[in-house]
Amino acid sequence: MSAVAELGTAPAAAPARAARRRAEQAGALDRPTVSFELFPPRNPDAAPRLWSTVRELETVEPDFVSVTYGASGHTRQTTRALVRRLLRETSLNPIAHLTCVGTSRDEITTIVEEFLDEGVRSFLALRGDPPAGEPDWRPHPDGVHTAAELVELLRDIEQRRCGRSPAQAVRARVRPLSVAVAAFPRGNHATGGTRAQDVQALLAKQEAGADFAISQVFFDAEAYLGLVAEARDAGVTIPIVPGIIPTTDPARLLRVQELTGVPVPQHLLDLLGAADDAAERHRRGTQAGVDLVNRVLDGGAPGVHVYTFNKHEAALDLLDGADLVGGRRCAVTPPDLTAPDGTPADATTTTPRGNLS
Ligand code: FAD
């Protein structure tokens, strides 16, 4: 089996895409969501490049962009500045990541109030990782202990604001607070948590008021689809958006492995390593990513969240390869494509989205 095939080339992907295009032409358009993760520029020199990336990403009209929040809240101000600028100067809908690390409940409340005052209505509530050099995660003595508790706190803060001001209560109805959370396809390698534990944590996040989840990176569709199936069995009903990393840069992949503990399959590294030049490596990596995106969408994923690392080329090539740019792809089961003579137009093509999302 070739490396590309091992990475999950779905034999039915091409006809399935054709069926989706026909469905779209027939008017049954419900395109998968497209979104991106950005991080605040690490220094002033990095800002111009980030902004040129932002402008490129804006051209494909993503549903949202999420902005990371560094370990120990080191980027609290830079996250806030980037989110504010995205709100004011672009057409993008930013989601601010928020963590519990090293922060008391009062401090979190202040941070959230500041975001809300600036018009931010979407958060990704996370526990966060321990600060660099600290092996174990320890909650702040007056802080929250889990992402689920952070979701609860966000909901409480919003409720108190609405209680204080009827105007705010109206605004909250017009632009409801949206809270996303993290999910881990093969368990959280960073915390040593199993998938079963993470599914229980996801259920707790949902019960606390989470609206949807975004997954950690993964390299095989079965990891994501298995998580969704297990989560549904456990009673998780919120959508789980797969987090996809463009697989074009081996050094980047190994760095992600180091940071997240999610192992990069050797066959993917071999596939990229066997390329003659950078262009061929990019093509191979993009194709591997497209295959993965096709597999998860065909399995029912509501859309894709692309980890950009503040670069647009690989992210946009990935979306383009998967026919997701410009809203060309249709996520719903196509309408009856039976030809007038009764022959199914493409009987083998469509994997129904089912109840996975
Ligand atoms: P939690 O849900 O609190 O889980 C932490 C641990 O406790 C897990 O092992 C979990 O299994 C266990 N647990 C919690 N509740 C339960 C329960 N009820 N039952 C059983 N077990 C439970 N980190 C940053 O610092 N900044 C970022 O911007 C950032 N962005 C991220 C974006 C995404 C999409 C993802 C997937 C991760 C991101 N992270 C970020 C990393 C994340 O903060 C860490 O992986 C962290 O270790 C776990 O976060 P959590 O929100 O899932 O925490």
- What pLDDT score does 356 carry? 25
Taking residue 30's Cβ as centre, other Cβ atoms within 10 Å add up to 13
Burial of 261 (0-12, 13-18, 19+ CB in 10 A): middle
Architecture of the 3-352 domain:
Alpha-Beta Barrel (3.20)
Nearest-atom index, ligand 1, CA of 79: 28
Q: What confidence score (pLDDT) does residue 346 get?
A: 34
Residue 14 half-sphere exposure, CB side, CA atoms within 13 Å? 3
Q: Which residues are annotated as catalytic?
A: 37
Ligand 1 centroid vs 128 CA: distance in angstroms?
6
The upper half-sphere exposure of residue 69, i.e. CA atoms within 13 Å in the direction of its Cβ, equals 27
pTM of the full structure: 0.86
Among 205, 230, 227, residue whose Cα is nearest residue 218: 227
Could you tell me the mean pLDDT of each successive run of 10 residues in the chain, 357 residues long?
Answer: 34 47 52 95 89 96 94 72 95 96 93 95 92 76 94 98 95 96 91 91 98 97 98 98 98 94 96 97 98 97 97 97 70 37 34 26
Cα(147) to ligand 1 centroid in Å equals 6
Ligand 1-lining residues (CB < 6 angstroms): 68-69, 71, 97, 99, 126-129, 146-148, 182, 188, 190-191, 193, 197-198, 200-201, 204, 214, 216, 243
User: What gap in Å lies between CA 307 and CA 315, rounded to an integer?
Assistant: 8
Domain borders along the chain are 3-352
